[in-house]
Amino acid sequence: MFSGSIFPHWRRKAAERFSGTSSEIPFYLNAAYYPNWRIYRKQPPSALRLGFVSHIFYAFAWVKEDGTVYGRNQLSDEWADTQMPVDGTTGCLRAFAQLKPQYSKLKLVLSIGGGGKGSENFAAVARSKSCTETFAQSARRLVDEFGLDGIDVDWEHPADSQQGQDYIRLLARLRDYFPPPYVLATCLPAGQWALQHIDLQKAAKYVDMINIMGYDFAGPWGAESGHHAQLYCPSYGSGVSCQSAVEYVLGQGVHPKKLLLGIPAYGRSFLGSDNIGQRYAGCGGEDGVFDYSELPRPGATEYHDEQVAAAYCVGGDGGFVTYDTPQTVQQKAKFVTREQLGGLFYWHIGGDARGPRSLIEMGYNTLHEM
């Protein structure tokens, strides 16, 4: 159970529920990703508020062409992961591991893959029996070496039916190497276009959780501005939403408790627009993205669309910036409890705010409210 010193007295009931000592409220996961590059923004593991977090997904390890999950001296950032002086030890992985006695229910999971380069070798590795074996063996060695609790397969994403079948075989073999109580998770985009090649019911037999990325529904790849993490599709439009993604996955026979809904701790910017459905002139921020902790932009006005459970600000000048707030996270957490899903996760913990605007804290409290 979490140490009593971590939670104020008024949160003890929530802490008891989180540790499984109360049967009053169903237990929901409240997980978060930690990208290794956030260490360069003065966010070591010790600086994070982990008392509201059930799982930390450490992102990312990558995969070689022969199936080797990048090991000693070959992680995606070996300096940040295993060598940099951090919190009195070397590397962020060890820094997280040494925090676990303070948060005895916290699970630390190595996330393998990610967008772009992180996923480029998955298809070939999953197609080969020998490479799959190498993948499983090297992943298990890494997990045991750093005292982790399991792995998250973040293949974005199987692109055809053959890759979908190979993905299932990869998960099946990984389950052999990571039997319970090891955690085996997978993270997938929300759109049916990305999920259609996967037998999700079979995938769910092997994994403990399927993390559905409930974000990036709009961005610089599209011609018009739009909400990038809406819970519901507007009545006047169509497209992907958190609800449509959940309905699709559950419709494929996945048990609701296997499903975690993703929350973005960042906003997407559309310059030259002030609402959805508009042509825009470009994107502000870093690669079109602002950390949620930087929102709303100074001088901007924040709005909420209650109908679709989306928030945005205008001005500042990020243009139209779409993101989640405690108000929308509360709506999403209530959706999770109503549908009896497994919980929420956040990309990523480094972008969250402190205090009453914390998305992670709001998500946790709403999931476990009386």
Options 16, 65, 145, 156, the catalytic residue: 156
Place of tokens 């599209």: 222
Question: Would you call 156 a catalytic residue per the annotation?
Answer: yes
Task: Measure the CA–CA gap between 52 and 44, rounded to whole angstroms.
Answer: 17
Alpha helices in the chain (DSSP H): 12-18, 78, 92-97, 122-127, 129-145, 161-177, 192-195, 200-206, 242-251, 326-339, 359-367
Using an 8 Å Cβ cutoff, are 18 and 54 in contact? yes
**Residue 184, CA distances (Å) to 55, 69, 112, 171, 337 in order:** 12, 15, 11, 8, 23
**Residue 365, CA distances (Å) to 10, 175, 232 in order:** 12, 32, 22
**Residue 229, CA distances (Å) to 70, 130, 239 in order:** 32, 39, 12
DSSP states of 214-230 as a string?
---SSSTTSSB---SS-
Task: Measure the CA–CA gap between 50 and 159, rounded to whole angstroms.
Answer: 35
CA torsion 294-84-145-95 (nearest 10°) is -50
Distance of CA 83 to the CA centre of its chain: 25
Which letter, b or e, does each residue of 33-61 get, where b requires 16 or more Cβ atoms within 10 Å of its Cβ?
bbbbebbeeebbbeebebbbbbbbbbbbb
Task: Measure the CA–CA gap between 197 and 249, rounded to whole angstroms.
Answer: 12
Q: What is the token pair recorded at 89?
A: 């030890």
Using an 8 Å Cβ cutoff, are 33 and 349 in contact? yes
Q: What residues are annotated to the active site?
A: 156
